[in-house]
Structure 1
Amino acid sequence: MTIKAVVFDIGNVLIEWQPERFFDREVGGQRRREMFANVDLHGMNDKVDQGADFTTTVMTAADANPDWAPEIRMWHDRWIDMASPAIDRSVRLMKALQAKGTPVFSLTNFGIQTYDIAARVYPFLREFDRDFISGHMGVIKPDPQIYQMLEDASGLSGDALIFADDRADNIAAASARGWRTHLFQNSDGWAARLVQEGLLSEEEAR
């Protein structure tokens, strides 16, 4: 079947998402490792990605963990510093696909409020042909329901879709539905895959 739409994850595909790197820089590696071992910060973030209020969720976690409260509040106050920078070549690939008339969808674990913060800094986040943002959908990858919701809303399924994500579990869930998939490691590899699939020429994928 001909590919009808290209589906992009956002974190570590279009925008770097590296909380550990941020905290290593701000508080040092030892302090960061102790904090992540004692506080389930990624679990906290999953709640936001499922639609919980960003400020309430982070501040509640800070109040519940007073030994780490200043650092946890940084997750809120300096969130955009963890979600940076943009991966420029991936953004160019997104725009090149759209310029050729290929629809580009997002399928991303992202909070409602955090997405708004990111979109002010990265305007291309408002330029997808279809948005599938977990915070608005109430479910996160790799739950099969989120993939079903995209299929139902778009009318596309199976190998009419090609999906790039940096996490193997998210890719496996899409593959199980018959989607074409690409485990994103860098934008060069993703560009080569888009050329291989005939969606872009070598020049268009530069």
Structure 2
Amino acid sequence: MPVTAVVFDIGRVLIEWEPERFYDAYIGKPQREALFRDVDLHGMNLGIDRGDDFKEAVYSLAGRHPKWAEEIRHWHDSWLQMASPDIPHSVRLMRALRQRRIPVFALTNFGIGTFDLAKKVYPFFNEFDQVFVSGHLQTIKPEAAIYAHLERDTGVTPEQLLFTDDRPENIEAAAARGWQTHLFTTPDTWAQRLVDEGLLQLEDAQ
């Protein structure tokens, strides 16, 4: 069945998301490894992605780990440095699809507060036809409910959706529902997939 709509993940597809890189620069790799070993920062972030208050979640965790309190608070205070820069080629592909009047949706594990913050910095966050943010939906990829939200609210048949994400488990969950999928590794390979599907011309995919 031909693709009629394209679904983008955001982190590591349209913007970089590298908290480890931030902490390596801030405190050095050995200290960062110790921090991430002692404190479940990614677990905290999953709670934010499910709808926990951004600042409260970070500062509460900092209060429980006084040894690392300053470093943990940077997850809130320096968050934009972890979620930057954008990935220009991917952004161009999203805009090229929209110029061809192909519906483009975002399906992302993102907190409410962090998404609102990112929208102020990355204008293309406001350019999707529809956006499905896990924090608002209180369910995250690869849980079935978040995919069902998109199917129901867009009305697009699963087989007509083409979804790109950098995490294999999120791709597998979508494929199990009948979505067409692309595991994102580089913008170039994603561009070629869009050309192969007949969604973009080669010159539009550069």
Q: Same fold (TM over 0.5)?
A: yes
Look up the match of 2:64: 64
Distance 2:83 2:52 in 1: 19
Shift of 1:205: 0.4
Runs of 4+ in 1 over 4 A off after TM superposition: none
Identity of aligned residues (%): 56
Matched AA of 1:21 = R
Look up the match of 1:91: 91
Instruction: Give per-residue Cα distances to partners, 1:136-164, cap 9 Å, x unaligned.
Output: 10100000110011101111132210000
Matched AA of 2:9 = D
Distance 1:126 1:46 in 2: 23
**1:23 to 2:49 alignment:** no
Residue ranges of structure 2 left out of the alignment (5+ in a row): none
Q: Structure 2 matches for 1:1-206, cutoff 5 A?
A: 1-206=1-206
Matched AA of 2:44 = M
SS in 1 for 2:200: coil
Shift of 1:4: 1.6
Matched AA of 1:80 = L
Instruction: Give per-residue Cα distances to partners, 1:38-96, cap 9 Å, x unaligned.
Output: 11100100011101100100000000111111000000000000000000000000000
Matched AA of 1:95 = R
Distance 1:130 1:139 in 2: 17
Distance 1:95 1:154 in 2: 19
SS in 1 for 2:124: helix
Matched AA of 2:172 = A
Instruction: Give per-residue Cα distances to partners, 1:118-149, cap 9 Å, x unaligned.
Output: 11110100110001000110100000110011
Instruction: Give per-residue Cα distances to partners, 1:139-190, cap 9 Å, x unaligned.
Output: 0000011001110111113221000000000000001011000000010010
Matched AA of 2:48 = V
Distance 2:83 2:106 in 1: 16
The two structures, once aligned, show a CA RMSD in angstroms of 0.6
Residue ranges of structure 1 left out of the alignment (5+ in a row): none
Task: Calculate the TM-score normalised by the size of structure 2.
Answer: 0.99
SS in 2 for 1:182: strand
Distance 1:145 1:5 in 2: 19
Distance 2:32 2:139 in 1: 28
